[in-house]
Amino acid sequence: MALNHVNLSVEEGEFVAVLGVNGSGKSTLAKHLNAILLPTSGSCCVAGMDTRKPEHLWDVRQTVGMVFQNPDNQIIAAIVEDDVAFGPENLGVPSDEIRSRVDEALKAVGMTEFRGFAPHLLSGGQKQRVAIAGTLAMQTKCLVLDEPTAMLDPVGRKEVLDTVRRLHRESGITVIYITHFMEEAAAAQRVVVMEDGKVVEDGSPKEIFCHVDAMRKRGLDVPLAAEIAWRLRKQGIRLPEDIVTDEELAVALCR
């Protein structure tokens, strides 16, 4: 899906979830942020760098790290720590600094004890955490995740989302998180909804998910708590309009 007059800014340190049905332009947007794709009109700027300028290519790709849907397509080494070291090695980073970066990256994603493991012995969630560590070892300032939990079971999805939330909270890393799971999107500070290559909604999770009918018309769900609250309000039960999480629903019902 080609992007169509998308005007979108993401500030440093934001956690933005991107939603949309298949073919809405989410992955195309993600690939522009890492200069995998380049705009044919308009411009895409990353940390002040125009992605169309060849001299900015490597700086853009160091600034923005990508994590894709299938971790098996991103892991190339036979040992976890070697895979995490791959990026810095290709940049010509000195050996001592590579070791330091690998240590820090594995610690950040909670995978230090698995550094000597073969990746094929890891679970899907653990593999995605290794993929994230590989981007952190490049000293990435922005992490773009394109449906990183789509192929994982609930345990793996929780591992990945918890890791991303912790990195955002503790390291201040900018996160752009593309997902089909509404509960994951509810964890973001901001939700962007795409349709036909355009941004059609942009707001906080509460602002986006309170419009259940509108989301359904776009072919999208809302978090389960938001839907239950919406159904109960239709039955005449007085509940706040901005319920998104299970905890908020429980508190409102108890009252």
Span 187-203, average pLDDT: 95
Question: DSSP readout, 185-203?
Answer: HTTSSEEEEEETTEEEEEE
**Long-range contacts: 92-100, Cβ < 8 Å, 24+?**
98/137
Handedness of CA 103, 106, 112, 114 (dihedral sign): negative
The per-residue pLDDT for 71 is: 87
Q: How far apart are CA 170 and CA 26, in angstroms?
A: 27
pLDDT greater than 70 at residue 241:
yes
pLDDT greater than 90 at residue 200:
yes
Query: What pTM did the predictor assign?
Result: 0.91
pLDDT greater than 70 at residue 229:
yes
CB 19 within 8 A of CB 191: yes
Sorted by where each starts, the structural domains of the chain and their CATH numbers stand as 15-203 (3.40.50.300)
Question: How does residue 104 score in pLDDT terms, banded at 50, 70 and 90?
Answer: very high
pLDDT greater than 80 at residue 48:
yes
Span 15-24, average pLDDT: 95
Quick: pLDDT tens for 118-147: 999 999 999 999 999 999 999 999 999 999
**Could you tell me the CA-to-CA distances from 22 to 25, 36, 180, 219, 222 in Å, in that order?**
8, 20, 9, 10, 16
CB 31 within 8 A of CB 51: no
The per-residue pLDDT for 7 is: 92
